[in-house]
Structure 1
Amino acid sequence: MFFQTNPVYLRAAFLALFLATSLGVSPSQAEIKIGGTGGDLGTWKKIAQAYKATHPETDITVLNSLGSGGGIKALAAGAIDLAISSRPLKAEEAAAGFKANAYGVTALALSSANDVYLEKLTIADVVEIYQRGTRRWPNGNPILVVMRPLHDTDITLVVEAFPEMGPAFDAAVSRGARIGASDQDAADALEETPTAVGFLSLSLILAEDRNINTFALNGVAPTTENLANGSYPISKRYYLVTPKVVPDETTALVDFLYSAQGQEILRDNGHLPIGRE
């Protein structure tokens, strides 16, 4: 046969085999890239790990935080295959053919790495912490503030639940609150500053095994049980954003998310799962 005796074809074949084996990717191996809001990347890493246990032919990469908008832009550019968003699609995003399906709700909780639990914390207390900066820990240290930028979804959700927090957030920024550019930055800042408090997603705290505690507000703890019964007021919804055309290997991962095992992973990591639409 010509292929067997032609050295050019032989070299090309050996080169292709070398590249495939040296990169650790077989010619038939699928690759899925996921990116978006930092609040749920830890959960998606666990979903990816569980999926790969039974689908070793699929390579899944969960990128560092891109933000909701950044994830959708990366999806539009073809740089990722699935985007994770903490907000619904904007009109122009929906017009571009993207689809967003809510898959889980988590609590947005006032949090701290401090070992001291603040008892009987009311929203009026939280307003005072952010707006005036006069509240102190039991040992006398001032309570500092870590927060996301004012335009971030987390800030919007807190203000929707408690409008009085709007001016309090503004005041905290004016007083020099530490701003986390991403969810992970805010969580890192809280762990590094035990005298600080800030709002974080319960999903992030649990999925990333953060050394961070959460506080009850108005006597209600930020748990999935209290989200389910409607008693905890600040919730954050996560959306899975897909392009117009979804490859079979990506569809299989989405199917896994909605399987019994996928739903259990969500519950174990601070989500109230939302069934498939």
Structure 2
Amino acid sequence: MIEQHSFWPKLVVVLLTAICVVCFTPEANAVNEETIIIDGSTGVRPLVVALTDRYTAQDNTAVAFEVGDGMNPTLRIKALANGDIDIAMASHGIDMDKITELGLVVYQFAKVAVVIGVNENTSITTLSHQNLCDIYSGRFTHWRSLGSNTETITPLIRPHSEIDAEVVMKHIPCFSSLDIAPTIIEFEKSGQMARALAQTPGAIGITTMVRVAQSHGKISALALNGVVPSVDNVLNGSYSLTRNMYLITRAVPTPKITDFLTFLTSDEGKQVIIDNNAVPND
């Protein structure tokens, strides 16, 4: 006698197996992830990316981050208020009256040294304030004038309205009233400046210690008037060229945004900030 087998139990097993495979694939789990959209200051961006990378590396996080390429101060606040982004990055241009009016909250999470960076092929390690002004006025055009190699100096600058340039003009007296040589190349975004410094022999420009840390040795930070832009010198105030870093959220952020903000003040979050040559906020 031919043994008869029921078709339906086998079909049920196949269907249940398929359902379980779908439920436990990364794609299915990703549906439960919250995507946090961050945009704003390009100078704050590299440290935020380092922090989000470390945060998402934790086993218990069900969150993804999208970090944009930059928004000006007005647009970032408008985008946050409208719900187009979840967190705004900022370093200056914060109108606290407007922030309060829109029901937003500002968190300072770090401070970083603004530095004069040079390409790795430049052997010089320190400049006086006057040396710097002589370079940007066009008086010095070769590094040999300053006791370094014979490369032509390629000065780079940020727009005067950008925070890095504002810090330099505030703390280096001769720079505030300097007639910048017309041949100097200007970069609107800090990432553009960092790439040019890393790729251009003889280059000098305004950047931050976070950019230096992430350049893998392609950019060196100069001491100014003999003061090195170290974390200790930022903390004790002897190196005064600094900028604060802020994140701005809506007054009642989601639980996962709150958890990320808490991570910034944890020991692990603070270590990420320190590893990137910045100073955690107390």
TM-score normalized by the length of structure 2: 0.82
- Picking from 144, 160, 173, the partner of 1:163 is 173
Larger Cα-atom Rg: 2
Partner deviation per Cα, 1:147-193 (whole Å, 9 max, x = no partner): 1112111111111112321232x423xx1311112110111121232
In 1: Cα distance, 2:49 partner to 2:94 partner: 23
What are the ranges of 5 or more consecutive residues in structure 1 without an aligned counterpart? 1-17
In 2: Cα distance, 1:162 partner to 1:126 partner: 9
Cα displacement (A) at 1:68: 4.6
2:88 match: secondary structure: strand
Q: Indicate the percent of aligned positions where both proteins have the same amino acid.
A: 25
1:107 aligns with 2:117: no
User: Any residues of structure 2 matched to 1:52-201 within 5 Å, and which?
Assistant: 52-54=56-58, 55-87=60-92, 89-90=94-95, 91-138=97-144, 139-168=149-178, 170-172=179-181, 175-201=182-208
In 1: Cα distance, 2:26 partner to 2:166 partner: 47
Q: What residue is the counterpart of 1:243 in the other structure?
A: 250
- CA contact under 8 A between 2:120 and 2:218: conserved in structure 1? no
In 1: Cα distance, 2:265 partner to 2:155 partner: 37
Q: Aligned-residue CA RMSD in angstroms?
A: 2.5
Cα displacement (A) at 1:226: 0.8
Partner deviation per Cα, 1:30-86 (whole Å, 9 max, x = no partner): 111112212232222221122112234111122223355443333223221111111
Q: Answer with 89-98 or 76-85: which moved more.
A: 89-98
1:240 match: secondary structure: strand
- CA contact under 8 A between 2:37 and 2:87: conserved in structure 1? yes
2:270 match: secondary structure: helix
What are the ranges of 5 or more consecutive residues in structure 2 without an aligned counterpart? 1-21
Q: What residue is the counterpart of 1:233 in the other structure?
A: 240
Q: Answer with 73-82 or 220-229: which moved more.
A: 73-82
Cα displacement (A) at 1:28: 2.4
TM-score normalized by the length of structure 1: 0.83
In 1: Cα distance, 2:217 partner to 2:80 partner: 29
Q: What residue is the counterpart of 1:37 in the other structure?
A: 41
The number of equivalent residue pairs is 256
- CA contact under 8 A between 1:112 and 1:190: conserved in structure 2? yes
- Picking from 201, 213, 220, the partner of 2:227 is 220
